[in-house]
Structure 1
Amino acid sequence: MSLRGVVRRAVGSLVHRLWTTVRAAGAVSAASPAGYGFRRLGQGACLAFPVGAVFGEAWIEIGDHTLVGERVSISAGMGPGVDLGPGSIVRIGGSCSIGRGSHIVGHQSIDIGDHVFTGPYVYITDQNHVYDDPETPIGRQWPRNNPVVIGSGSWLGAGAIILPGTRIGRQCVVAGGAVVRGEFPDHSVIAGVPARVVRHYVPGEGWLPPHLGGGRAEPAGTRSAPAATGGVRAEPAGSVGAA
């Protein structure tokens, strides 16, 4: 190996060792100063470095042994320094794994149960802009909140979008790229744009598609994001898609 190659290899090794040290030192845990601002940051919980945009920590709870991946943004409220009242806004349970680059944006109430895993770049929010006034730019109209609940044991695939008002049951699978809005029962496989139940577990029969009864447990009138054509009928007035 040439001298140049030896030097490059040595420098590369040094850089990787330094980066490993920086990542370990920059991670946020209950024992680190950056963790003190959270309403609760459980034992063994960790926000990996580089940390995403995090504010409103006093209204954020993260359970024991939950891993929040690199560049994950978690926020409560419109911005730092706002008094959001006595209760917490964003609650993430124990033993969860939040994929890198995801966003959890809470203004009223986001509840994520225990043992919930997400892929990267998942977006979860309980607030969206409205379009009540057709003459005012949508981005300038006052947003509307609707609580979100994600049941324990669920898995959210890469790039899934969870919109305000969504309630996902326990042990559910959300397919990658799904745009989810509405109420979905326990043990559902949820996919599509707009998302719908494509499989449901029926005791004694297993996982069934809707045409074999797998969709029976889906509540009547489940609200999903608007379809490409005619979808406005299923969407409450004054609500819009992902912010």
Structure 2
Amino acid sequence: MSLVRRAMGALVHRGYSAVRAVGAITPATPAGYRFRRLGEGVSIAFPPGAIFGERWIEIGDHTLVGERVSISCGMMPGPDLGPDSIVRIGSSCSIGRGSHIVGHQSIDIGDHVFTGPYVYITDQNHVYDDPETPIGRQWPRNNPVSIGDGCWLGAGAIILPGTRIGRQSVVAGGAVVRGEFPDHSVIAGVPGKVVRRYTPGAGWHAPGVALAVEADAS
């Protein structure tokens, strides 16, 4: 019986590996043709998450997208969202499994950006201006998002509308980030704040430490 179970298990795993390979979305597959651009070497792993609005999505060369990643433009499939792309993911990125990238106006992710699993990035949020109208029935508000080259976003990080993260920055796992952050920042917490910076000559340091060192030196 154990030999039969082992043989059946091997067949199942081989079969699923074959399904994953065939089901991946690449520039050469029919599903890949729906995107505005899928660069050379792009692979969106099977099974994908909710993917729609492909006409407004660009993904650069050699970017890998994990299983069950949702990438969408607009609230639902079908509406015309205009002539320009909305979600732009750079080259040589790695998007962790179960992540969501939800664009309505503009999301720019630079080159060589890596994320852990279950990261959420959106440029739209609900508003609560009218205290008498259910929040879900109030028209949401958009604000562009930009993530610089070379960033790392830890597992479960949430990037909210209006966020601009400079290049070569780290977002800690579970951080909820909104606002503008300079290059070479380490951002952590809820709400996300800069907890470390890089300054030439001082290296990585807590905010304000490099200024104190420079003041002492002078």
Asked if these proteins are the same fold (TM beyond 0.5), I'd say yes
| 5+ residue gaps, structure 1 | 216-243
Give 1:105's aligned residue.
102
2:70 to 47, 69, 73: 73
Give 1:228's aligned residue.
none
Which residues in structure 2 correspond to 1:29-48 (within 5 Å)? 29-48=26-45
Give 2:204's aligned residue.
207
Given the two structures, how large is their TM-score scaled by the length of structure 2? 0.96
Matching residue's letter, 1:98: I
Task: Tell me the CA shift for residue 133 of structure 1.
Answer: 0.1
Indicate if the aligned counterparts of 2:97 and 2:117 stay in contact, CA closer than 8 A.
Answer: yes
- Runs of 4+ off more than 6 Å: none
Give 1:94's aligned residue.
91
Indicate if the aligned counterparts of 1:202 and 1:214 stay in contact, CA closer than 8 A.
Answer: no
Give 1:27's aligned residue.
24
Describe the superposition over 1:36-58 as per-residue Cα deviations: whole angstroms up to 9, x where unpaired: 00000000001000011000000
The two structures, once aligned, show a CA RMSD in angstroms of 1.0
Matching residue's letter, 2:3: V
Matching residue's letter, 1:51: P
Determine whether 1:195 maps to 2:164. Answer: no
Indicate if the aligned counterparts of 2:202 and 2:210 stay in contact, CA closer than 8 A.
Answer: no
Indicate if the aligned counterparts of 1:62 and 1:91 stay in contact, CA closer than 8 A.
Answer: yes
- Matched residues in 1 for 2:124 and 2:17: separation? 37
Task: Tell me the CA shift for residue 211 of structure 1.
Answer: 4.3
Give 1:63's aligned residue.
60
Given the two structures, how large is their TM-score scaled by the length of structure 1? 0.86
Equivalent pairs: percent with the same residue?
80
Task: Tell me the CA shift for residue 213 of structure 1.
Answer: 3.5
Task: Tell me the CA shift for residue 204 of structure 1.
Answer: 0.5
Indicate if the aligned counterparts of 1:207 and 1:214 stay in contact, CA closer than 8 A.
Answer: no
- Matched residues in 2 for 1:16 and 1:71: separation? 19
Describe the superposition over 1:108-133 as per-residue Cα deviations: whole angstroms up to 9, x where unpaired: 00000000000000000000000000
Indicate if the aligned counterparts of 1:200 and 1:214 stay in contact, CA closer than 8 A.
Answer: no
Task: Tell me the CA shift for residue 183 of structure 1.
Answer: 0.1
Change (3 A) 1:36 1:124: same
Indicate if the aligned counterparts of 1:199 and 1:214 stay in contact, CA closer than 8 A.
Answer: no
Change (3 A) 1:46 1:99: same
1:155 to 152, 162, 170: 152
